[in-house]
Chains A and B, each alone.
Chain A
């Protein structure tokens, strides 16, 4: 596809269960970002992948959160033992060269995955 895609679009889970959220970036984009937005609140950075470099995990809120990216393709965000406070929209974005590249580098966002933890 032409844009960033995320799946599922909606996920309802029970407290304590694990969930996996998927992001398919734009082909050729070396950088991939995960963000979180709780209902009615602002944006939180979670994790940033840049090529083959070690990911910047500084935004992950707890060790229940992890993410992987295979090469410069799909990424999976995993939340273990979900809690109600994990309910949010999880947004993925990709860009061609990443945060330390040219200032013209544009981030393209996916539609998000709405996670509801009951």
Chain B
């Protein structure tokens, strides 16, 4: 069965701190795709990144970085030097051809000024 676990329900840090959001997934498929999405307080959903299972390269985009480790079935998301605008709910998701897109329950991130 497919499963995505975001064990951190809520995280609160002070601005400029680094913060890592954890995402652990379960799948029996050898080809799958992982995603992160951001949902700020305004409610709009923003796609952040997608990673294919055959590409374990880590990704960096500005203050955002993603660490994909197949050995531990994790796809963690780190925000460096966090800012108040990073406050949002972040969702991790998994897709494979054998199953529908599965979302984690989300992590609510609050950045305090």
- Residues of A at under 8 Å CB distance from B? 33, 35, 42-45, 48, 56, 58-59, 89, 91, 93, 99-100, 103-109, 111-112
Contacts and interface: CB of A to CB of B under 8 A. Distances in A.
A98 B68 CA distance: 21
B52 A45 contact: no
A14 B99 CA distance: 33
Interface residues of B, number: 23
A100 B32 CA distance: 9
Interface of B: 33, 37, 43-47, 50-52, 55, 91, 93, 95, 97, 99-106
Contacts of B44: 109, 111-112
Majority DSSP secondary structure for residues of B touching A: strand
A94 B5 CA distance: 25
B51 to A, nearest CB: 6
Contacts of B37: 43
Contacts of A104: 50
Nearest to B103: A43
